[in-house]
């Protein structure tokens, strides 16, 4: 799990393209990799995951320095990127591979994730129940190269997708302009 003082965090939040940028721009974040986790097929392809037959989620795996950007801050930022009340996917993207989940790498992460979920549920920000699952981390498979850093490689398409999917408006409505 650890690389020096760095640790791993893994989050599924719908389309992984939209989950990279918010974390990538933070201090203490070493890398954000788009990929697949939670399923049964080894080394799945994007097409296989989209077929909904592998059990994988689109996810991001974040290598971070917890002394600079603690796990609690990662969780806070994660909740502000998703609709945690939607059990059927995220925004335009539907199906199991687009559902939300926090994949914990150790008991401390599990406890912190459960606590943050409870705090969010009690906050009154959402009227529906929080549907995001908290699951043990499984093997993470990096996605194909063209999916990595998509927001940097294809900013026009990324921005259009982020707006067109409904994610931008949802985030602005629930969390304000800067998130």
Please give the order of strands across the beta sheet that includes 140-142.
133-136, 100-104, 7-13, 57-64, 29-37, 140-142
Q: Catalytic site residue 15?
A: yes
Q: Which of 8, 9, 12, 15 is catalytic?
A: 15
Find out whether 124 and 28 touch, Cβ atoms under 8 Å: no
- In whole angstroms, give the CA distance from residue 63 to residue 16: 15
Tell me the C-alpha distance between 64 and 9, whole Å.
8
How far apart (Å, rounded) are the C-alpha atoms in residues 123 and 118? 9
Q: Which residues are catalytic?
A: 15
């Amino acid at each position: 799990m650890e690389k020096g003082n760095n640790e791993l965090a893994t989050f599924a939040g719908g389309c992984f393209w939209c989950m990279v940028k918010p974390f990538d721009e933070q201090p203490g974040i070493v890398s954000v990799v788009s990929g697949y986790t939670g399923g049964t097929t080894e080394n799945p392809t994007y097409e296989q995951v989209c077929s909904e037959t592998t059990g994988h989620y689109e996810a991001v795996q974040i290598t971070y320095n917890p002394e600079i950007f603690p796990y609690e801050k990662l969780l806070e930022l994660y909740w502000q990127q998703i609709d945690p009340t939607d059990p059927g996917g995220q925004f335009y993207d539907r199906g199991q591979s687009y559902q939300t989940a926090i994949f914990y790498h150790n008991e401390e992460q599990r406890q912190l994730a459960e606590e943050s979920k409870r705090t969010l549920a009690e906050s009154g920000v959402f009227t529906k129940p929080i549907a995001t699952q908290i699951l043990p981390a499984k093997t993470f498979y990096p996605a194909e190269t063209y999916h990595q850093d998509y927001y940097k490689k294809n900013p026009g398409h990324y921005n259009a997708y982020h707006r067109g999917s409904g994610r931008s408006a949802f985030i602005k409505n629930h969390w304000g302009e800067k998130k």
